[in-house]
Every structure is written in structure tokens, then in C-alpha cells.
Structure 1
Amino acid sequence: MISLSSHVLDTTSGTPVAGIPVTLTCPDGSQVTATTNSDGRCKEWPGITFAEGTYQVRFACKDYLIGQYGQSFYPFVDIHFEMTEDGGHYHVPLLISPFGFSSYRGS
């Protein structure tokens, strides 16, 4: 079984980011949008059954960054990744600041 979660952290303040819209695009083109919770996490993808393939998550971070820092170089961040049939759980965190971001496969 494949599962997916995400987490948004502000590296400038060292805190999780709540309220970020996260849009997941599946290999077949279907999409679902969720919002990070109070701990900056997103793990509910209504109506999605995960299968092997290439996915994309789009984090709409502009409003948050402008609200916190008055500026945002990145209006959104797209991360493309592949999930395999035997891949188990995938965790795609996003570390953001007004002028940089980073991601990795977490656990």
C-alpha cells in the first residue's frame, strides 16, 4: 500500500506553517487540494487511491511569505516525485524562506 504525507516548515522562524494550500496532481492528471494543519502537515488526500507513477505537489506559499516577511520570490513551489508499487509511505517535506526552499524524501 502506498501512502503520502507532507510537511511545511519555515526555516527563518523555525516553525511549522499552517494554512498552506497543497495541490496534488496524480499520474492520470486528477487533482486534489488540501491545506496544511496547525502543525504544518498534510496527510489527507480525499478521493485519491495511490498507484505507481509520477506525482506533483504544489505548495502555494506566496500569501504566507508576504504576510510574514513582506516579500516572496516564489509564488509557489512544485515538487515532482515518483512513487513505486512497493514504496510504502512517502513523506515530502518543504522547507521554505522568502528566498529559498528545500525538499527531500522524509519518513
Structure 2
Amino acid sequence: MSFISAHALDSTLGTPARDLEVSLFDGGEIIASARTDDNGRVSEFGPEHLEAGDYRIVFSTGDYFAAQGQDHFHPAVTIDFTVKAGEAHYHIPLLLSPFAYSTYRGS
């Protein structure tokens, strides 16, 4: 299992956010990039382990909504998070709409 996984749901449509680009950064360096599958998930994302520290995941929501011809406010959703030593897995879910989003620490 990948150390990081992500999930995106389009709350406007009530469906998974399919084919949404997601990128993982360590500082300013990109360490992984993927697109969500038909279930809105990126299950295998990034390395099997990350050192303790601060990381960033970016969901390219502007491109996602533009591809659907949908007006939107956020060109990207950026989530900064901290990896703690001894953790086995981090799941980062995103609930999005064209003008709002929410996230939480998943399991």
C-alpha cells in the first residue's frame, strides 16, 4: 500500500471526481502525480514511506471543472499536512464543488 492515498468526491453531482489531477510535494519538489480513477481515488500514490515533516497535496480542481464546462472559483485546492514519525498511512479526502471544498484526515 502507498503511504499516501487520496479521494475526491464532487458534491455538486454526488459522484466521484474522475480524472482529477493530484500532485504530492515535499517542499517545492513534486514527488508524485496521478489522476483519480473512476471511483475518484488515487490508491497508489507516492512512495511507500515518507520521512516525518510537512508535505503538500494539490488537487487541480480548476482543470477538472473547466473540462466539464463548469464555472468555478478555486483553480486548485492545496492541502498542507504533517507526517508524524511512526505513522503507517495517510488518506486525504476532498469533498468539492465549484465554489467550496472541505477536507479531513481520512483513514
Q: Give TM class, smaller chain.
A: 0.7 to 0.9
Residue 51 (1) aligns with residue 51 (2): yes
The aligned residue for residue 97 of structure 2 is 97
Give the structure-2-normalised TM-score.
Answer: 0.86
Q: Report how many residues are paired.
A: 106
Alignment of 1:27-106 (within 5 A): 27=27, 29-46=29-46, 49-68=49-68, 70-106=70-106
Q: What SS class does the counterpart of residue 95 from structure 2 fall into? A: strand
Q: Tell me if the contact between 1:69 and 1:98 (Cα under 8 Å) persists in the aligned partners.
A: no
Partner Cα distance (2:42, 2:101) in 1: 18
Give matches, 1:5-20, under 5 Å: 5-20=5-20
Partner SS for 2:82: strand
Aligned-residue Cα RMSD (Å) equals: 2.0
Identity of aligned residues (%): 38
Q: Match for residue 4 of structure 1?
A: 4
8 Å CA contact retained: 1:59, 1:77: yes
CA contact (8 A) 2:17 2:40 kept: yes
Per-residue displacement from partner, 1:9-60 (whole Å, max 9, x unpaired)? 0111111111111110025834221111111001223556422111100000
Q: Mean alpha-carbon deviation: is it higher for 57-66 or for 73-82?
A: 57-66
Structure 1: which 5+ runs fail to align?
none
